[in-house]
Chains A and B, each alone.
Chain A
Amino acid sequence: MADVGVVMPLYTQKPEFLRQALESVLRQTFTEFRLIIVIDGAPDMEPLVRSIIAKDPRVTIISYVQNRGIAHALNTGFDLLFSEPSIQYLSWVSSDNVYEPRFLEILRGALVKGPQELGIVYSSFQSIDNEGNLLHNEHQLATQRNYQSQPKERLLDYSLIGVSFMYKSQVAKLVGGYGMEPVEDYDYWLRLAEHCDIRFIPVELVNYRVDSTFSVSAQLHSTENHRRWRYTYHLTRHQARFRRGIRPMITVLYPVVNAGAEEIARIENLYEQTYSNYECRVLDLSLTGQPSVLIGSIPHPATEFVYMPGVVESHAICGALEHLATPYTIVLGPKIFIGALDIEYMLEALITTGGDTISNYYTDDHSLIGFRHRHVPSTKNHYYNELFRSTDLYDLLKIYFS
């Protein structure tokens, strides 16, 4: 009896991609599985689907007329699988990826062989273009494997799981359905991982079609869509930390008198940092509230606006510091962070460097991380984009402005 259940959500897809995807699933070495194809508002795809699956008894097609989005399609498919008691292991596949013949066998094998606490297994994957060309060489794959193999705790920082995965249905039943598009998968892994361990398999089991013609990811390139994606990406992590009782580590203070394109670029540069466990306070020093309106149009779940009309920047920062609860603080601007990993690396360096260091920062040429020490005069003549221990910044500013 089949113990593996697979869902393929399907919207409009290039016929050739769909054929390759479906055939690669149907030709798996592990044959005892159920496949639910959920045609999500694209009834014209159904004849092609039926012609490919022929009369394969393992496959069920669910089709509805209105496009409801991938999360709804997944929930529809999994609801059916949850009703089948024999199904213990779940996965879902995309209609444009190509699955290695042992994809199901290896992922299922790892779950079966692993300890009780293991709930998610996931593997490396190769990337392909529309023509099926492999996009990563061995060095790039090794880098990707290294990235994906980070400990479970890092799932809060990075979406490590990727596109090749399987999980236990008993864990899935604990966490509810998919939601939070367009990061429905990442949000789901964060929720699942609160109930189980995860394990990475350093083997490529999927050929992932990058930016294929009709893919969701290809539609995220517009600024507006990217902002929407980024907002939900931050939101799901924010919610996960809240559920787990993890407090923010850094407060980012952003004093602004008048906002324009530069100020927008600066806040977006912050939001693009890989490090995300911060709260941002925009100190609106204008008399009109214009910065709050403009910067507020770029959504972020952990940014709040403090209206301080006409207050001098230094006083505003000191005032804000008196109410901080985070151990670290950054004052943003006027330059941007050069690397997306800058805050992550600075925090790691400051935490691991004890002694009398009170802050660190990237040097202007971005080649080094410099440190400021307690009671030692610094050559740095400003505090921007510098990661401070909050109490030390407060003490420093008190001396500086007294």
Chain B
Amino acid sequence: MKILFTFFNPSGGMQTLNRVRCQALHDRGVECHLLYTHPGKGQQNIPNIQTYITNNDDEIRGLLTREAFDLIVVCTDIYLAERFRGFGYKGPLVFEVQGLGTLDEAEQVISNFNERIHKLTDALLYPETTHLQTLFKGGFPSVSQYCFDNPIDCDQFGYTNYPAKSFPILGWVGRIQTNKNWREFLQIGQRLLAIHPELYLWIFQDDTLFEPEQKESFEQFVAETGISSRLISHSNVPHGQMADYMSIIGDSGGLLCSTSILEGFGYAVAEAMLCRCPVLTTDSDGIRRLVINNHTGKIYTRGQLDEAVNAALSLMHDPALRDRIRMNGEWHIRNNLSSGLYADRFLQMSHQLMRRRSKIERRWS
């Protein structure tokens, strides 16, 4: 079986997802290819996977003809699905959504895509996220839908013990964009710095992906609050090294803070947990598959700084709670989100869709 996964650019969670699932499917004998329509810094994270970066019609048409994919999964870009069909691709096509920003934004996007989804796609695929489930179940009752957890690479990605830092670290992973709610992270950091002046804030971001006005606001906020001496920005860290950084944060006595307004899945949170880095996160429903409050991590109400700071302090000050959460977090990811489980579910979906396609073809031939 040969599958093509597509997205706009190789960066962030989508790049992680594609790499992990391609490896998992490869282990089951499936040949996976990736197509990105735009370049991105995550290119450095694509070893051993056939990857194309092009938005050129002729090149894409040639790719489809040459490779004769058995299944194509188009993430977010419905217009690319339209181009595939226009280029003559007749096989099963899955439209995947991993997150579409805030609920309002997601509703707007889906409403715009409605007609094309019905016309072009064989099925919808999304992670087990309440807002996406509600959106799709209500909006597309006649379209097949597959909903299962994204995979985490528990074999290659994990905790390593390094010499502990002499200061606690508050980590954050994301882009400087509205949905990631970076301002709240800095506010929490500022409050924690008042109590723990030895604290460092470590931000991990792709510095080529940001909303310009948000970046300006970010820099202004940092300048006005005077936290720049305690803020360290890591740009485009290769994925493999994130396991080291998360392990280091976990061993520093600090934590990862996720402030997103809405997360479709929350790869950064899942990977932090796998590396024994305790997590404090907003109550976004993409997170609920990962974080069980006070058991595998801490959840706070977005906008409630007091609640967030108190939760962070409990993780920093209560060693028993911290140890328990670190252990439970890692166990939870290993047992519920393994890439093997994902491969089972994905292949079941693939076989169903391919069988259905061939039935339709037989009927019309």
Residues of chain A at the chain B interface (Cβ within 8 Å): 100, 102, 106, 109-110, 113, 138-139, 142, 145-146, 149, 151, 199-203, 352
Contact = CB atoms under 8 A, between A and B. Distances in A.
A138 B237 CA distance: 17
A139 B232 contact: yes
A199 B240 contact: yes
B209 to A, nearest CB: 15
Contacts of B234: 142, 145-146
Nearest to B44: A151
Contacts of A142: 232-234
Interface residues of B, number: 18
A233 to B, nearest CB: 24
Given A138-B200, A149-B237, A202 B245 contact: yes
Contacts of A352: 39
B148 interface: no
Contacts of A151: 44, 238
A166 to B, nearest CB: 15
Contact of A202 (B39, B235, B248): B248
A146 B207 CA distance: 13
Contacts of B248: 202-203
B204 to A, nearest CB: 11
Interface of B is mostly: mixed
Contacts of B160: 109-110, 113
B162 interface: yes
Contacts of B229: 139
B348 interface: no
B241 A149 contact: yes
Contacts of A113: 160
A198 B229 CA distance: 32
Given A142-B232, A146-B235, A151-B44, A106 B241 contact: no
Interface in B32-46: 39, 44
A142 B230 CA distance: 12
A102 B161 CA distance: 11
B241 A203 contact: no
A149 B240 CA distance: 11
Contact of B244 (A138, A139, A146, A202): A202
B237 A203 contact: no
Nearest to B45: A151
16 contacts: A100-B163, A102-B163, A106-B162, A110-B160, A113-B160, A138-B232, A139-B232, A142-B233, A142-B234, A146-B235, A151-B44, A151-B238, A201-B162, A202-B245, A203-B162, A203-B244
B244 to A, nearest CB: 5
Contacts of A201: 162, 244
